[in-house]
Amino acid sequence: MANIKDVAERAGVSVATVSRVLNGRSPVAETRERVLAAVQELGYRPNNVARALRTARTGALGLIISDLTNPFFTELADAVEDEARSLGYSLVIGNAGERPAQQDDYIRTLLDRRIDGLLVSSAGTGSAMLSEVVASGTPLVLLDRTVPGIDAPCVRADGRTALTELAGHLAALGRRRPAIIVAPAGTPTGEERLELFRAALAEHGLALPDERVGSSPDLQHTGGRRVMNAFLDLAEPPDAVLATDNLMALGAMDELRARGLRVPDDVALVVYDDVPWFTHIDPPLTAIAQPTRELGRAAVHTLLARIEGQPADSVLLPARLVPRRSCGEPPTL
């Protein structure tokens, strides 16, 4: 069985350099790639128990995802795992299922396993265990969602520019009665997207009254359908709807079809979060795309900086508007 000295000889580096790479501390990409190639060729498996005794580290990171059934979070988790593995770390994933209590259970389990650091895309508005993570000194980075009262950097997308462009896009297409389906009331992400969209619409003389703001009780298909049902019962139903989650958007589309209405002829539909199969829906859905894989990579690097005791600020990466055909765009788009 190959040992660390064999890896060092194959890669042409010192044993200390191999150790730094396996602990995610190699500053030179070329060196890291050479060492990881040697590890793979030789089938070397580090002794994580011995390494933990020497360094007080396990080489494992934890990731809590709010809901793995949501395509956005599935891709985000995949990006985090790819980046962690490329840097010599294993990843333990827990699915909170949008339930804070379940999130707490996973956090306790991960802390018991002595992970080196924790990434959390929080369920709801957070949970009591997050404060305990901070108090314990375990490096923590929030992902996609901020949590009030938690002192930790957050890596997320900035939708300001994309929502501003969307407001202008809808106004240019003659949509005068916009509406929005947001996340459950009280969630920072949902409130932020609502306020940004409302402000952007106002710049084009478009109002977003409370009757055209629908809060889904969950981020699921059923919630989006219930909100769209309420919108369509209004005396003046909306002529454009922004769903701030992809599963809610599909529920909204199902309700429109159940009522015999067409997208975009009767109601324009926009989705916050883009997934590859949106191009195959009829009509292809206009979306606000988050830089999902870039967010995953940035989150890993931010967490590793915290593990190394280095400064680690929050990261904002821009989302972008992707016009397709679901708002009545001309065929050239």
Q: Is residue 51 part of a domain?
A: no
Interval 136-146: pLDDT, tens? 889 999 999 89
> In this structure, are 277 and 196 located in the same domain?
yes
Asked whether residue 117 is assigned to any structural domain, the reply reads yes
d(C-alpha 69, C-alpha 62), whole Å: 19
Please tell me the predicted confidence (pLDDT) of residue 54.
42
Q: Taking the chain, what is the end-to-end CA distance rounded to the nearest angstrom?
A: 58
* Domains of the chain: total: 3
Q: Are residues 273 and 172 in the same domain?
A: yes
Is the domain of 268 the same as that of 172? Answer: yes
Given a cut of 50, is residue 39 above it in pLDDT? yes
**Does the pLDDT of residue 297 top 50, yes or no?**
yes
Does residue 332 lie in a domain region?
no
- Does residue 168 sit in the same domain as residue 152? no
Note whether 281 and 162 are same-domain residues. Answer: yes
* Residue 36 predicted with pLDDT over 90: no
Crossing angle of helices 292-307 and 71-86, in 10° steps, is: 50
CATH of the domain at 11: 1.10.260.40
> Is residue 147 a part of any domain in this protein?
yes
Q: Are residues 28 and 106 located together in one domain of the fold?
A: no
**Would residue 326 count as lying in a domain?**
no
pLDDT on residue 56: 57
> Does residue 329 belong to any structural domain of this protein?
no
pLDDT more than 90, % of the chain: 60
Enumerate residues 6+ apart whose C-beta is below 8 A from 150. 126, 130, 131, 134, 140, 142
Kindly state whether residues 171 and 284 are assigned to the same domain: yes
pTM: predicted TM-score of the whole model, two decimal places: 0.80
Q: Are 171 and 219 contained in the same domain?
A: yes
Residues 114, 84 share a domain: yes
Specify whether 298 is located in the same domain as 152. Answer: yes
* pLDDT on residue 50: 45
Answer yes or no: is 327 within a domain. no
Could you tell me the residue range of the domain that residue 22 belongs to?
Answer: 4-46
pLDDT higher than threshold 80 for residue 203: yes
Question: Does the residue 97 lie in any domain?
Answer: yes
Q: What pLDDT, in 10s, does the model give residues 254-294?
A: 999 999 999 999 999 999 999 888 999 999 999 999 999 99
The shares of helix, strand and coil residues in the chain, as percent rounded to the nearest 5, are: 45, 15, 40
Cα–Cα dist 277/7, whole Å? 42
CATH number where 199 lies:
3.40.50.2300
For residue 144, the SS3 value is coil
The answer to whether residues 70 and 19 belong to one domain is no
Residues 35, 133 within the same domain: no
Report whether pLDDT(190) > 80. Answer: yes
Q: Is the pLDDT of residue 47 over 60?
A: no
Over the stretch 215-231, which tens digit does the pLDDT of each residue have?
987 778 899 999 999 99
* Helix runs in 185-267, H state only: 188-202, 221-232, 246-258
